[in-house]
A and B are shown apart, each in its own frame.
Chain A
């Protein structure tokens, strides 16, 4: 049994939050496409935007851009800016050409960007119109991944939220698990729940449109990712009920998450312990190896993905680290609350960003490890700070028991590297 009582000194749920506005060094929501298109195997993501959007996707996707990408950018040109009617005709033509070339596409997402939002191209109406044109083979939805509205992982949130209103209705008492996870992790999660006898499960997003998820007044849902605020709200509007839980990171987080779901479905303690005992022991052992290098070290999180709070909880409680500052682009009490309760008091919790002021703070604190984006990592390394670039945490399988050691390893690797390198950079 886990000791999930708040830590001495209380958790961080009621800690004062430092809210700053200024320059933000974050990705926009379009970046979510890069992992979502791998998960949803019959979906295509069509960004309506500028050359900047295409360049962003290319830069963020790296070599993935060369491997059957099911995403693209309809780049707005000067003549598109002149009249709105023109933009819709243009979009219809590009979509028709795309669907003709890629008959395997069953779901098309029109993804709004800053330019398309600013000139107010009505992509919602375009999606309705295109759904009619291409029904029943293709479903066309729309959401915004623009930087003016979404930060990094909020792109996934916006995408999933756009699917909720069109999900089939079900009166059944079912468990809906929400958040795109790597297939291998998803299978582990389903297996654990299945062993506890919970198998009336649906997933959002499903791997293909044919396995479409349903929702209704008897649905209960659990989030596997902490950045799903809008999806949370949309599911509540469909009458579904949320199971609040810490996020399944680390042995403790996974156990607490599973326990919340098990309690909802009346799984008895004996069954729960029988199912989780072995993987829990494995996770603890794997974490212990990596934690050797993390124990007693301090950590500072720049805001990036909203994963910061649950990760800080894992690293402080299970790896012996001390959090100096935990920055998140956005904090949602109903979702982050359970993790904040468990996070030992002490760190500055911050929401939003003024990057120059935050850099002043990290330089003053000189933490042992700084979690930040790729635009900051090398410059901070050059100043002698050790960094862990944050994006990897979104792309790598890190959830649930079997990945707990890998997750701790992602943080210990930069520290170990610093200790093995014996050559100084010449100035």
Chain B
């Protein structure tokens, strides 16, 4: 057993729902108790879909337990096929149904439904949402792809985009345009928007673009093995990665057309003097493996940040994340426990966090600016406007996303500098940018489940030591911009401890500053 409050990923059957909801003409019959329909609202509310997810639940109840549940499953299957007339169905069990062992696959196969029935084995007690999506898509591809000739023109499939994916909708559009520049047509995008008939046409493409390894890798590998379709290894997030991706496509296809870069603004924006202050900003990255790996390279090479730490919550990508971490000279944090992430962020005291909605709230609690770069995300990160993260427009989008909280940070800094002005004194509170309110409350996050308080803004005795801050040093510390104050406090205390000092005076503060000067 493991006590959990926040979860980065849902159970694997939610991953299967993401695939089913992404597709058209496919229905998912899910053996699940009453209540599991809650997952529908992720699609209808967070992603604001205008239709119900194509999922039928058996909604068995306590009184049905026993032999009855198998009948219930068969009835639900038959009703779904009669009512929705799908081209194919997928069948599976949620965590509770897994325990009652009704074998949805076996039951559905005996029913003679006249359409393909794809059975899913999703181990709910050991795997999670991303695995569920990857496995479901793989089983669908395996079950439906049909041998056929390659298309006359050079075409590719886009693999991996799903429902509830972070910016998947616009990434597909951006890549379709980019590939068109290169002379490559898109054969099928899957699972997003594909029908079972489209899945059957996958082998007509000359190669596959693996957009999201989390949700498309198993299918891409199977198509490579079975139909000899190579798949791209570079995820085109960031300018350099997009150019690498173009080179990879050119190598696969032999085509030489180049992409239109006329609207790519990140390189100049980043080079312009206004961006000088971004240099060496210490950032911490956390999210799914793919976005963290890609964005870490962008952060370092295209934004000029220093990557202070990075990690991911999905163990499937641990190897790739560790490799990037080694390249950056930092330790990778592979965990799905947000308390560990919070600890890492506290210890590293970065100037910005690039993460998920969880890190956004951790950032809020610690007073650190945050930009969202990965699922899980809430409704505001399924925007109405066009906002890909892939390709050249994606690079523009990310530049804005990363700079915006920091520009706000600079404003906050200016306000802090003038904090003794009558308009800007401390008691006037933080500016209207709630995202950067300094830590004041112990009840601001799930972190308090551990009963922890932030040491910042605490009494002058440093937590866990006997070092006392003298009042002049304490006052001076408050003049330091809030987003580096935590680090300054820690460094000074470490310095004092190292020197065996009992008190921190103004001099100690500046000696420590000189000691740690970069």
Measured CB to CB, the residues of A under 8 A from B are: 22-31, 46, 48, 50-52, 54-56, 58-60, 62-63, 65-69, 71-78, 80-81, 87, 90-91, 93-94, 97-98, 101-103, 114-115, 117-119, 146-149, 151, 356, 373-379, 381-382
Q: Known A54-B4, A114-B96, A374-B41; judge A148-B451 contact (CB<8 A).
A: no
Task: Establish whether residues A66 and B449, one from each chain, have CB atoms under 8 Å apart when the complex forms.
Answer: no
**Interface residue from A23, A80, A114, A149 paired with B1 (Cβ < 8 Å):** A80
Nearest first, the 3 A-B pairs at minimum CB distance are A28-B35, A147-B35, A375-B40
Task: Establish whether residues A52 and B95, one from each chain, have CB atoms under 8 Å apart when the complex forms.
Answer: yes
List B contacts of A103 (CB < 8 A). Answer: 451
Number of interface residues of B (CB under 8 A): 62
Q: Measured between C-beta atoms, what is the minimum distance from A207 to chain B in Å?
A: 17
Q: Known A68-B448, A74-B1, A97-B3; judge A52-B36 contact (CB<8 A).
A: yes
Task: Establish whether residues A72 and B51, one from each chain, have CB atoms under 8 Å apart when the complex forms.
Answer: no
Task: Establish whether residues B99 and A115, one from each chain, have CB atoms under 8 Å apart when the complex forms.
Answer: yes
- How many A-B contacts at CB < 8 Å in the complex? 201
Contacts A62-B378, A151-B35 supplied; 16 other A-B pairs, CB < 8 Å: A28-B35, A51-B10, A52-B13, A66-B445, A77-B2, A101-B451, A114-B35, A115-B99, A146-B35, A147-B59, A374-B40, A374-B41, A375-B52, A376-B52, A377-B44, A382-B51
CB<8 Å pairs between A and B, sample of 10:
A26-B37, A51-B95, A54-B7, A56-B35, A58-B5, A59-B38, A73-B3, A74-B1, A114-B35, A374-B45
Task: Establish whether residues B96 and A148, one from each chain, have CB atoms under 8 Å apart when the complex forms.
Answer: yes
Q: Measured between C-beta atoms, what is the minimum distance from B117 to chain A in Å?
A: 19
Interface: B14 (CB within 8 A): yes
B50-64 interface bits toward A, Cβ cutoff 8 Å, 1 = contact, 0 = none = 111000111111101
Chain A residue with Cβ nearest B94: A52
Q: Known A55-B11, A147-B36, A356-B79; judge A74-B65 contact (CB<8 A).
A: no
Task: Establish whether residues A74 and B3, one from each chain, have CB atoms under 8 Å apart when the complex forms.
Answer: yes
**Interface residue from A51, A60, A62 paired with B7 (Cβ < 8 Å):** A51
Task: Establish whether residues A78 and B449, one from each chain, have CB atoms under 8 Å apart when the complex forms.
Answer: no
List A contacts of B201 (CB < 8 A). Answer: none
From B1, B9, B52, B450, name the one whose CB has the most chain A CB atoms within 10 angstroms: B1
Residues B329-368 near A (CB distance < 8 A)? 361
Task: Establish whether residues B11 and A51, one from each chain, have CB atoms under 8 Å apart when the complex forms.
Answer: yes
Listed stretches B124-132, B143-151, B319-327, B426-434; interface member: B124-132
Distance in angstroms between the alpha carbons of A68 and B365 in the assembled complex: 12
Distance in angstroms between the alpha carbons of A115 and B44 in the assembled complex: 26
Task: Establish whether residues B41 and A149, one from each chain, have CB atoms under 8 Å apart when the complex forms.
Answer: no
Q: Measured between C-beta atoms, what is the minimum distance from A337 to chain B in Å?
A: 24
Task: Establish whether residues A27 and B35, one from each chain, have CB atoms under 8 Å apart when the complex forms.
Answer: yes
Chain B residue with Cβ nearest A87: B1
Q: Known A65-B5, A69-B449, A94-B1; judge A78-B126 contact (CB<8 A).
A: yes
Interface: B414 (CB within 8 A): no
Task: Establish whether residues B3 and A72, one from each chain, have CB atoms under 8 Å apart when the complex forms.
Answer: yes
Q: Known A66-B446, A117-B62; judge A77-B10 contact (CB<8 A).
A: no
Measured CB to CB, the residues of B under 8 A from A are: 1-7, 9-11, 13-14, 33-42, 44-45, 48-52, 56-62, 64-65, 76, 79, 83, 94-96, 99-100, 123-126, 128, 361, 378, 442-446, 448-451
**Interface residue from B37, B125, B449 paired with A25 (Cβ < 8 Å):** B37
Task: Establish whether residues A118 and B443, one from each chain, have CB atoms under 8 Å apart when the complex forms.
Answer: no
Task: Establish whether residues A382 and B50, one from each chain, have CB atoms under 8 Å apart when the complex forms.
Answer: yes
Distance in angstroms between the alpha carbons of A2 and B322 in the assembled complex: 73
Q: Measured between C-beta atoms, what is the minimum distance from B310 to chain A in Å?
A: 22
From B33, B62, B94, B443, name the one whose CB has the most chain A CB atoms within 10 angstroms: B33
Task: Establish whether residues A72 and B5, one from each chain, have CB atoms under 8 Å apart when the complex forms.
Answer: yes
Chain B residue with Cβ nearest A117: B62
Task: Establish whether residues A77 and B1, one from each chain, have CB atoms under 8 Å apart when the complex forms.
Answer: yes
List B contacts of A60 (CB < 8 A). Answer: 38
Task: Establish whether residues B3 and A23, one from each chain, have CB atoms under 8 Å apart when the complex forms.
Answer: no
Q: Known A51-B10, A114-B33; judge A90-B51 contact (CB<8 A).
A: no
**Interface residue from B37, B56, B446 paired with A375 (Cβ < 8 Å):** B37
Task: Establish whether residues B446 and A147, one from each chain, have CB atoms under 8 Å apart when the complex forms.
Answer: no
Distance in angstroms between the alpha carbons of A381 and B50 in the assembled complex: 8
From B35, B60, B451, name the one whose CB has the most chain A CB atoms within 10 angstroms: B35
Task: Establish whether residues A148 and B62, one from each chain, have CB atoms under 8 Å apart when the complex forms.
Answer: yes
Q: Known A59-B41, A67-B444, A81-B99; judge A378-B48 contact (CB<8 A).
A: yes
List B contacts of A50 (CB < 8 A). Answer: 11, 95-96, 124-125
Q: Measured between C-beta atoms, what is the minimum distance from B439 to chain A in Å?
A: 14
List B contacts of A114 (CB < 8 A). Answer: 33, 35, 95-96
List A contacts of B3 (CB < 8 A). Answer: 46, 72-75, 94, 97-98
Task: Establish whether residues B11 and A148, one from each chain, have CB atoms under 8 Å apart when the complex forms.
Answer: no
Task: Establish whether residues A67 and B35, one from each chain, have CB atoms under 8 Å apart when the complex forms.
Answer: no
Q: Measured between C-beta atoms, what is the minimum distance from A293 to chain B in Å?
A: 25
List B contacts of A117 (CB < 8 A). Answer: 62
Task: Establish whether residues B99 and A119, one from each chain, have CB atoms under 8 Å apart when the complex forms.
Answer: yes
**Interface residue from A28, A147, A378 paired with B44 (Cβ < 8 Å):** A378
Distance in angstroms between the alpha carbons of A66 and B364 in the assembled complex: 10
Chain A residue with Cβ nearest B443: A68
Distance in angstroms between the alpha carbons of A381 and B44 in the assembled complex: 11
List A contacts of B59 (CB < 8 A). Answer: 22-24, 147
List A contacts of B13 (CB < 8 A). Answer: 52
Distance in angstroms between the alpha carbons of A119 and B96 in the assembled complex: 9
Task: Establish whether residues A91 and B1, one from each chain, have CB atoms under 8 Å apart when the complex forms.
Answer: yes
Chain B residue with Cβ nearest A100: B451
Distance in angstroms between the alpha carbons of A165 and B90 in the assembled complex: 46
Distance in angstroms between the alpha carbons of A27 and B59 in the assembled complex: 11
Distance in angstroms between the alpha carbons of A125 and B442 in the assembled complex: 35
Distance in angstroms between the alpha carbons of A75 and B83 in the assembled complex: 36
List A contacts of B76 (CB < 8 A). Answer: 23
Distance in angstroms between the alpha carbons of A30 and B99 in the assembled complex: 19
Q: Measured between C-beta atoms, what is the minimum distance from A108 to chain B in Å?
A: 12
Distance in angstroms between the alpha carbons of A54 and B13 in the assembled complex: 14
List B contacts of A377 (CB < 8 A). Answer: 44
Distance in angstroms between the alpha carbons of A102 and B52 in the assembled complex: 41
Task: Establish whether residues A379 and B51, one from each chain, have CB atoms under 8 Å apart when the complex forms.
Answer: yes
List B contacts of A119 (CB < 8 A). Answer: 99
Distance in angstroms between the alpha carbons of A73 and B1 in the assembled complex: 9
Q: Measured between C-beta atoms, what is the minimum distance from A103 to chain B in Å?
A: 8
Q: Measured between C-beta atoms, what is the minimum distance from A339 to chain B in Å?
A: 25
Distance in angstroms between the alpha carbons of A66 and B76 in the assembled complex: 37
List B contacts of A72 (CB < 8 A). Answer: 3-5, 449
Chain A residue with Cβ nearest B41: A374
Q: Measured between C-beta atoms, what is the minimum distance from A55 to chain B in Å?
A: 4
Task: Establish whether residues B6 and A67, one from each chain, have CB atoms under 8 Å apart when the complex forms.
Answer: no
Q: Measured between C-beta atoms, what is the minimum distance from B30 to chain A in Å?
A: 10
Q: Measured between C-beta atoms, what is the minimum distance from A50 to chain B in Å?
A: 4
Task: Establish whether residues A55 and B7, one from each chain, have CB atoms under 8 Å apart when the complex forms.
Answer: yes
Q: Measured between C-beta atoms, what is the minimum distance from A91 to chain B in Å?
A: 6
Distance in angstroms between the alpha carbons of A264 and B378 in the assembled complex: 50
Task: Establish whether residues A375 and B41, one from each chain, have CB atoms under 8 Å apart when the complex forms.
Answer: yes
Task: Establish whether residues B35 and A90, one from each chain, have CB atoms under 8 Å apart when the complex forms.
Answer: no
Chain A residue with Cβ nearest B75: A22
Task: Establish whether residues A74 and B2, one from each chain, have CB atoms under 8 Å apart when the complex forms.
Answer: yes
Task: Establish whether residues B65 and A148, one from each chain, have CB atoms under 8 Å apart when the complex forms.
Answer: yes
List B contacts of A97 (CB < 8 A). Answer: 3
Q: Known A50-B95, A78-B126; judge A90-B1 contact (CB<8 A).
A: yes
From A58, A66, A67, A90, name the one whose CB has the most chain B CB atoms within 10 angstroms: A66
Q: Measured between C-beta atoms, what is the minimum distance from B366 to chain A in Å?
A: 13
**Interface residue from B9, B33, B445, B449 paired with A28 (Cβ < 8 Å):** B33
Task: Establish whether residues A52 and B1, one from each chain, have CB atoms under 8 Å apart when the complex forms.
Answer: no
From A22, A30, A98, name the one whose CB has the most chain B CB atoms within 10 angstroms: A22
